[in-house]
Amino acid sequence: MRVGRPVKPLPHPDCDYCGVPATLARSDDEVYPYRDDHGPLWVCAPCQAWIGVFPRSTRQVPLGRLADAALRDLKTKLHAALEPLAQAKVRRDACNIFEARAKGLKWLAQQIGADPVKPSIHSLDAAQCERAIAILEEFARTRQNNPSENAWDER
């Protein structure tokens, strides 16, 4: 028997730090943290935590969890650690950078026990970011001794 498809509620993330529902802020709002327009953000002003939404998302679906200053910093470091390895893969396998990043993230998610189905830096918490950075640093060291190794490749 078919019943009517349930109406999907609009996504409304809670702050991961205090548990209070986040506020959707736009660039002219008082709580908007950037001077420039970076698109709509889900913000928790007391925690100074925020997350962007998917580009062109009409439902303002958040990219992941809200991130405070410490987590934003870790995500920047993780991105910086991932990028040279993704670019090395592009040079070696002539794939595009999005594919290389996606493969790297998928591999990383498996390493740290995060969801490998939709891997995203924005869904990681601080502990997962720290583990991922440590794994990438170790991987970069091994790769220096053994440049043909690439753990990201499917086996």
Contacts of 94 (CB under 8 A, 6+ apart): none
Residue 70 binding Zn ion, by CB under 5 A: no
Q: Which of 25, 41, 47, 100 binds Zn ion (CB under 5 A)?
A: 47
Which residue in the set 15, 25, 71, 121 belongs to the binding site for Zn ion (CB under 5 A)?
15
Residue from 44, 53, 100, 124 binding Zn ion (CB under 5 A): 44
Q: Cβ 59 to Zn ion, closest distance in Å? A: 22
Interhelix angle 69-93/97-112, rounded to 10 degrees, is 120
Q: Is residue 17 close enough to count as binding Zn ion by CB under 5 A? A: yes
Report 122-151 residues binding Zn ion (CB under 5 A). none
Binding-site residue total for Zn ion (CB under 5 A)?
A: 5
| 72 touching Zn ion, by CB under 5 A | no
What are residue 63's DSSP bridge partners? none
Separation CA 49–CA 71 (nearest Å): 9
Taking the C-alpha atoms of residue 17 and residue 26, their distance in angstroms, rounded to an integer, is 21
Q: How far is CA 122 from CA 44, 78, 93, 141, in A?
A: 16, 11, 26, 25
Q: Which of the ranges 39-47, 55-63, 75-83, 138-146 carries the binding residues for Zn ion, by CB under 5 A? A: 39-47
CA dist., res. 34 & res. 126, Å (int): 22
Report which of 80, 91, 78, 95 is spatially closest to residue 154, judged by C-alpha positions.
Answer: 95
In angstroms, what is the minimal distance from the CB of 51 to Zn ion?
12
- Minimum separation from the CB atom of position 16 to Zn ion (A): 8
Using CB under 5 A, list all residues that contact Zn ion.
Answer: 15, 17-18, 44, 47
